[in-house]
Structure 1
């Protein structure tokens, strides 16, 4: 699973590889008695950029791979906005 997650993140976040100094991935299964439905795989992604506060995004999906992919795309959007403000795309 680790290799699959790394492959997804490397591919989707490749555009920002030179600016991300650290990337943390937290995966969890949100199943509980109080929650119904099948969308229960959660991915929380935190990126640290040189000289900036960390930013994070999360996503829920049916599978871990879908949650990681969804979160990675959210991170691309967030980093595009954040770095675009600084003129560092």
Structure 2
């Protein structure tokens, strides 16, 4: 499973943050790693750097499965890690539903 992390101009794409995101996704989506060929992560700050607010970090996950249409899930949180974890849990539900119908996990 290849993980590609993209950030908007308001999120600093530091190596430590990218590594943290990859660890979270690897842990939460581990059992689907054989079906997911690529996982695209889009991180953004909904209120930008000039404003602060509750739950303004957004994570959009797009999972590409071999021979299937991409699936997407998103979540918002106070931190990037919270948003990534929430989106990953939503992705697990989507994958369980979709692949469960096929008996593929």
Same fold (TM over 0.5): yes
Structure 1 residue runs of 4 or more that deviate by more than 4 Å after TM superposition: none
Candidates 58, 65, 86, aligned match of 2:102: 86
Q: Provide the C-alpha distance between the structure 2 equivalents of 1:84 and 1:37, rounded to a whole number of angstroms.
A: 38
In the alignment, which residue of structure 1 is the partner of 2:37? 21
**Runs of 5+ unmatched residues, structure 2:** 1-16
Point out where structure 1 has 5 or more consecutive residues left out of the alignment. none
Task: Specify the SS of the correspondent of 1:38.
Answer: coil
TM-score, normalisation: structure 2: 0.79
Which one of 67, 72, 77 corresponds to residue 88 of structure 2?
72
1:8 deviates by 0.2
Find the aligned partners of 1:14 and 1:36 in 2 and give their Cα distance.
Answer: 33
* TM-score for the superposition, normalised by structure 1: 0.93
Number of residues of Structure 1 aligned to a counterpart in Structure 2: 87
Identify which of 15, 20, 30 aligns with 2:46: 30
- What is the correspondence of 1:36-47 to structure 2 with a 5 Å cutoff? 37-47=53-63
**Deviation sequence 1:4-49 (CA, Å, 0-9, x none):** 00000000000100000010000000006xx984110000000010
